[in-house]
Amino acid sequence: VWSLSKKYTESAKWTLFDLQNELQQSGWMVPAYTMPKSIEDMVVMRIVVRQGMSRDMADMLLRDIENAVASLDKLTHPTP
């Protein structure tokens, strides 16, 4: 489970929900969630790794995350 730092989210043009969508286009299911009522402003992503996931698959996921973040960081306007 991870989230973006508050400082990063203040200047970013995208959210973890946008990253979720980007990863979904690459075939990954990495959901983004809002937290409970007392901290509902926080959004996190969670990866559940099944038994037997290879190192190659993990490397592919990390590469796809890096590529998606790089693509999202190029946005000039905030996502809707």
69 occurs within a structural domain: yes
The number of C-alpha atoms within 13 Å of 72 and in the hemisphere containing its C-beta is 23
Task: Write down the pTM of the prediction.
Answer: 0.90
What was the pLDDT predicted at 18?
98
The pLDDT tens digits of the residues spanning 17-70 come to: 999 999 999 999 999 999 999 998 899 999 999 999 999 999 999 999 999 999
DSSP, res 39: G
What was the pLDDT predicted at 15?
96
Task: Give backbone dihedrals phi and psi of 23, rounded to 5 degrees, phi first.
Answer: -70, -35
> CA nearest 4: which of 38, 32, 36?
32
* 38: containing domain: 6-73
Number of separate domains in the chain: 1
Of the pLDDT bands very low, low, confident and very high (cuts 50, 70, 90), residue 16 is: very high
67 occurs within a structural domain: yes
Give yes or no for residue 72 having a pLDDT over 90. Answer: yes
Q: Identify the CATH number of the domain in which residue 60 sits.
A: 3.90.1150.160
CB 2 within 8 A of CB 45: yes
CB-based contacts of 77: which residues, under 8 Å, 6+ apart? 13
79 occurs within a structural domain: no
22 occurs within a structural domain: yes
DSSP, res 8: H
